[in-house]
Amino acid sequence: MKQHLHYVVRKCTLSLLALSFTQITFGQINLANQLEAGVTFGPSNFLGDLGGNKGIGKGFLKDNNFPMTKFIIGAHISTYPSPVWGLRLAVNYGSLQGEDQIIKGQGGYEEARKFRNSDFRSKLIEGMLVAEIYPTVYFEYDPDDFYKKFRPYGIIGVGVFHFNPQGTDPLTGGYVNLKELSTEGQGFAEYPDRQPYKLTQLNIPMGLGLKYFISENTTIALEVLHRKTFTDYIDDVSTTYVDPELFDKYFGIGSQKAQLARRMANKTDQNGTASASFEPGDKRGTATNMDAYYSIGFKLGFRLGRERDGDSYRSIKCPTLRF
């Protein structure tokens, strides 16, 4: 069994190298025949400290809140050096949202998050460069034949995104920017380990998709793309509550900014029913779990350039590898 598996792996590896070599050697005269441009649209969801379901807050889909579903749209251009893999450059625009009050309390740990009574929304702009891997190509009789074919694929890459969390002011009901309020003491001397977070961050997109070739030049696809991030402040919640007196110290005693920061940093005594609130040092978020978000994308793609007999735009195809 192990020998057979080793044989298959070795054969696949050699085939990939051979396919890449023939692409480089023979190539395609018209690069446009390797390019695809398209659009993406679909729902997106935030996975972080705010919101969630019953029990202890956890990462990934366990704490997904469908009522907070927003949408994301985007455009991409991809190049395919071979049928086995491609590179995609994409730009997406959308929004993320989270809210504690939508939690359905059931008398467990989720009650503390509901009592926290925080919320956020944020516009989202991202760019990414990802690789698309099509493993089933190795099992096709003719990899260069696309017409009416389904091809599953994997996605992995690197991206950059920009966000700006806003929360609802309990006094006015309007949204205010949260970063500049240092709601968890970011930048205060009393919390040297809490530095102001950057609104532009890196992420790692990863996911799975299924592409269908309507024709040689038109494709549709459905993919689930998860973004692992390296920040816990997409929702402006991460660590513990701070002493509200510090807002007067850094923003001016009784100033509008200091008063606003007090309201936004701790909403537990402002929901109209609470008789107590969290105190400085109490848990506000879980700093060990970075925020994340994901989208379900419906993609439409068009190949740029077509093969035409009898003119200079016809490409030279690579030899087809078969098992």
Alpha helices in 105-233 (DSSP H): 110-116
d(CA 23, CA 26): 6
8 A C-beta contact, residue 26 and residue 68: no
Instruction: Report pLDDT for 29.
Output: 34
Q: Which of 207, 88, 209, 206 lies closest to 153 in space, CA to CA?
A: 209
- 250 within some domain: no
Residue 43 near residue 68 (C-beta atoms within 8 A): no
Q: Is residue 224 part of a domain?
A: yes
Distance CA 104, CA 102 (A): 6
Asked if 301 and 123 count as a contact pair (C-beta separation under 8 A), the reply is no
Is the residue at 172 inside a domain?
no
d(CA 97, CA 93): 14
Q: What is the model's pLDDT at position 286?
A: 87
Q: Is residue 106 part of a domain?
A: yes
Q: Which residues span the domain enclosing 230?
A: 31-164+199-240+283-304
Identify the bridge partners of residue 39 per DSSP, sorted by sequence position: 75, 300
Asked if the structure places residue 143 within a domain, the reply is: yes
Mark out the alpha helices in the chain (DSSP H runs): 2-26, 110-116, 245-251, 256-265
Q: In 62-149, at which residue ranges do the beta strands (DSSP E only) sit?
A: 70-82, 85-99, 119-133
Q: How many domains does the chain fold into?
A: 1
Question: What's the rounded Cα separation, in Å, for the pair 14 and 2?
Answer: 18
The 10s digit of each residue's pLDDT in 154-187 is 999 999 999 999 999 999 999 999 999 999 999 9
Q: For the whole model, what pTM was predicted?
A: 0.80
Residue 110 in any domain: the answer is yes
Q: What is the CATH number of the domain that holds 211?
A: 2.40.160.20
Within a domain: 137:
yes
Q: What per-residue confidence (pLDDT) applies to 82?
A: 87
pLDDT value for 3 = 43
DSSP result, 275-323: S----TTSB-S-TTS--EEEEEEEEEEEEES---TTSTT---PPPPP--
Query: Is 300 within the bounds of a domain?
Result: yes
Instruction: Render each residue's pLDDT in the chain as its tens digit; 323 residues.
Output: 434 444 443 444 444 444 443 443 334 334 444 799 999 999 999 998 887 666 555 556 666 777 889 999 999 999 999 889 999 999 999 999 999 888 776 655 667 778 888 999 999 999 999 999 999 988 888 877 777 789 999 999 999 999 999 999 999 999 999 999 999 999 999 999 999 999 999 999 999 999 999 988 899 999 999 999 999 999 999 999 999 999 999 999 999 999 999 999 998 865 444 456 788 999 998 888 899 999 999 999 998 865 444 443 334 343 333 33
